[in-house]
Amino acid sequence: MAIDASRGFSQLGGTEDPPELVQLLTPEGERVEHPDYDIELTPDEIRGLYRDLVLVRRVDLEAVALQRQGELGIWASLLGQEAAQIGSGRAMTDADMAFPTYREHGVAWCRDVDPVKLLGLFRGVNHGGWNPAEHNFHLYTIVIGSQTLHAVGYAMGIQRDSAEAAALVYFGDGATSQGDVNESFIWASVFNAPVVFFCQNNQWAISEPLEKQSRIPLYRRASGFGFPGIRVDGNDVFACLAVTRKALDDARSGQGPTLIEAFTYRMGAHTTSDDPTRYRVAGELEAWKLKDPIERVKAYMFKNQLADQEFFDAIDTEADQLGRDVRKRCLAMPDPGPLAIFDHVYAERHALMDEEREQFAAYLATFEGADGS
Amino acid sequence: MTTLALAKAINEGLRKAMEDDPKVLVMGEDVGKLGGVFRVTDGLQKDFGELRVIDTPLAESGIIGTAIGLALRGYRPVCEIQFDGFVFPAADQIITQLAKMPMRSLGELKLPVVIRIPCGGGIGAVEHHSESPEAYFTHTSGLRVVACSNPADGYSMIQQAIRCDDPVIFFEPKRRYWEKAEVDTAGADWYPFDAAKIVRPGTDLTLIAYGPMVKTCLEAATAAEEDGRSVEVVDLRSLNPLDSALVMESVKRTGRCAVVHEAPVFSGYGAELAARITETCFYRLEAPVLRVGGFSTPYPPSRLEDHYLPDLDRVLDAVDRSFTF
- pLDDT (tens digit per residue) in A48-86: 999 999 999 999 999 999 999 999 999 999 999 999 999
Together in a domain, A284 and A367: no
Averaged pLDDT score across all residues of chain A? 94
Instruction: Look at residue A26 and tell me if it is in a domain.
Output: no
What is the distance between the alpha carbons of residues A141 and B87, in angstroms, rounded to a whole number? 22
**Length of chain B in terms of residues written:** 325
A126–chain B Cβ distance below 8 A for any pair? yes
In a domain, A16, yes or no: no
Q: Is the pLDDT of residue A309 over 90?
A: yes
- pLDDT tens profile A114-142: 999 999 999 999 999 899 999 999 999 99
- Between residues 66 and 105 of chain A, which touch chain B (CB distance below 8 Å)? none
Average pLDDT estimate for B31-56: 98
Give the CATH number of the domain where residue A86 resides: 3.40.50.970
For residues A160 and A82, membership in a common domain is answered with yes
Residue A298 lies in a domain: yes
Are A237 and A105 contained in the same domain?
yes
- Pairwise CB contact (< 8 Å): B105 & A141: no
Residue among B116, B158, B127 nearest B31 (CA): B116
Write out pLDDT tens, residues A183-223.
999 999 999 999 999 999 999 999 999 999 999 999 999 99
Chain A, nearest residue to B138 by Cα: A352
Residue A370 pLDDT > 80: no
Is the residue at A38 inside a domain? Answer: no
Predicted pLDDT at A4: 52
Distance between terminal CA atoms of chain A? 65
The nearest alpha carbon in chain A to B76 belongs to A157
| Active centre residues of B (catalytic) | 129
Distance of residue B187 Cα from the nearest chain A Cα, in angstroms: 24
Residue A302 inside a domain? The answer is yes
Q: Above 90 in pLDDT, residue A9?
A: no
- pLDDT value of position B284: 98
| pLDDT for the residue numbered A12 | 42
Q: Is A128 left (phi over 0), alpha (psi -120 to 50) or beta?
A: left
> How near does any CA of chain B get to the CA of A188, in Å?
10
CB contact under 8 A, A152 and B71: no
Question: Which one of B53, B106, B169, B194 makes the best mutation probe of the A interface by having the most chain A beta carbons within 10 Å?
Answer: B106
- Cα–Cα distance measured from residue B4 to residue B285, given in angstroms and rounded to the nearest whole number: 40
Return the pLDDT at A317: 98
For residues A229 and A314, state if they share a domain. Answer: yes
Q: What is the pLDDT of residue A20?
A: 83
What is the pLDDT, as a whole number, of residue A8? 44
Q: What is the pLDDT of residue B187?
A: 81
Residue of A nearest to B22 (CA): A160
Helical ranges in chain B per DSSP H: 6-20, 44-48, 60-72, 91-92, 101-104, 134-138, 151-163, 213-226, 244-254, 269-281, 305-308, 312-322
B166 touches chain A (CB under 8 A): yes
Euclidean distance between CA atoms A226 and A13, whole angstroms: 22
| pLDDT for position A13 | 40
Of B65, B104, B142, Cβ closest to residue A153: B65
ipTM of the complex: 0.96
Ranges of each domain in chain B? 2-183, 197-322
Q: Is the peptide bond before A194 cis (omega within 30 degrees of 0)?
A: no
Report pLDDT digits (tens) over B199-252: 999 999 999 999 999 999 999 999 999 999 999 999 999 999 999 999 999 999
- Closest of B87, B265, B74 to residue B170, by C-alpha: B87
Residues A255, A282, single domain; the answer is yes
Q: What percent of chain B has pLDDT over 90?
A: 98
B65 and A184 in contact by Cβ < 8 A?
yes
What does the pLDDT average to over B88-92? 98
All residues of chain A having their beta carbon less than 8 Å from the beta carbon of residue B93 are 146, 149, 180
Strands (E), chain A: 97-99, 167-172, 195-201, 204-205, 208-209, 229-233, 258-263
Q: In this complex, how many residue pairs, one in chain A and one in chain B, have their CB atoms less than 8 Å apart?
A: 141
Residues A168 and A285 in one domain: yes
pLDDT of residue A15: 43
Query: What are φ and ψ of residue B197, in 5° steps?
Result: -145, 135
**Which of A345, A351, A355 is closest, CB to CB, to B103?**
A345
Contact between B65 and A127 using a beta-carbon 8 Å cutoff: no
* pLDDT surpassing 80 at residue A7: no
Q: Helix, strand, coil: what percent of chain B each, to 5?
A: 40, 20, 40
CB B13 within 8 A of CB B187: no
Q: Is A16 on the interface with B (CB under 8 A)?
A: no
The reply to whether A258 and A344 lie within a common domain is: no
Residue A313, amino acid: D
How far A125 CA lies from chain B's nearest CA (Å)? 11
Q: Residue B59: which of A186, A345, A351 has the nearest Cβ? A: A186
**Are the Cβ atoms of B106 and A343 closer than 8 angstroms?**
yes
* pLDDT band with cut points at 50, 70 and 90 for residue A369: confident
**Residues A251 and A366 occupy one common structural domain:** no
Q: Taking 60 as the threshold, does the pLDDT of residue A11 lie above it?
A: no
Do A268 and A79 touch, CB atoms closer than 8 A? Answer: yes
Query: Does residue A6 carry a pLDDT above 80?
Result: no
| Cβ-based contacts of A167 with chain B (< 8 Å) | 69
Output the CATH code of domain B197-322: 3.40.50.920
pLDDT (average), residues A300-315: 96
Quick check: B266 pLDDT over 70?
Answer: yes
Residue A303 has pLDDT above 60, yes or no: yes
Q: How many domains does chain A have?
A: 2
Asked if the model's pLDDT at residue B141 lies above 70, the reply is yes
Average of per-residue pLDDT across B86-95: 98
State the average pLDDT for chain B. 97
Evaluate if residue A14 carries a pLDDT over 60: no
How near does any CA of chain A get to the CA of B9, in Å?
26
pLDDT band at A373 (very low <50, low <70, confident <90, very high): low
Cα within 13 Å of Cα(A12), Cβ side: 7
Could you tell me the pLDDT band of residue A1, with boundaries at 50, 70 and 90? very low
CATH superfamily of B2-183: Thiamin diphosphate (ThDP)-binding fold, Pyr/PP domains (3.40.50.970)
Q: Catalogue the active-site residues of A.
A: 266, 270, 279
> Average pLDDT in the A4-14 region?
45
Q: Per-residue pLDDT averaged across B101-119, rounded?
A: 97
pLDDT for the residue numbered B188: 76
CA distance A84 to chain B (A): 24
Q: How many CA within 13 A on the CB side of residue B39?
A: 7
Residue A24 in domain = no
Averaged over B7-34, what is the pLDDT? Answer: 98
Quick check: do B2-183 and B197-322 share a fold?
yes
Return the sign of the alpha-carbon dihedral for residues B30, B8, B300, B211: positive
Distance of CA B129 to the CA centre of its chain: 16
State the CB neighbour count (10 A cutoff) for residue B225.
13
Q: Does residue A287 surpass a pLDDT of 60?
A: yes
- Say which of B51, B64, B166 has its CB closest to residue A347: B166
The predicted model gives B265-290 an average pLDDT of: 98
Pairing outcome for strands A204-205 and B205-209: unpaired
Do both A276 and A372 map to the same domain?
Answer: no
Chain B hits for A355, CB-CB cut-off 8 Å, are: 244
Please tell me what DSSP assigns to residue B280.
H
| A277 shares a domain with A255 | yes
Residues in A closer than 8 angstroms to B279, CB to CB, are none
Please tell me whether residues A238 and A350 are part of one structural domain. Answer: no
Q: Give per-residue pLDDT as tens, A268-285.
A: 999 999 999 999 999 999
B232 part of contact set with chain A, CB < 8 Å? no
In a domain, A69, yes or no: yes
What is the model's pLDDT at position A10? 42
The pLDDT of residue A352 is: 96
Task: Determine the structural domain holding residue A276 and report its residue range.
Answer: 43-331
- What pLDDT score was predicted for residue A38? 84
Angle between helices A295-303 and A43-68 (to 10 degrees): 150
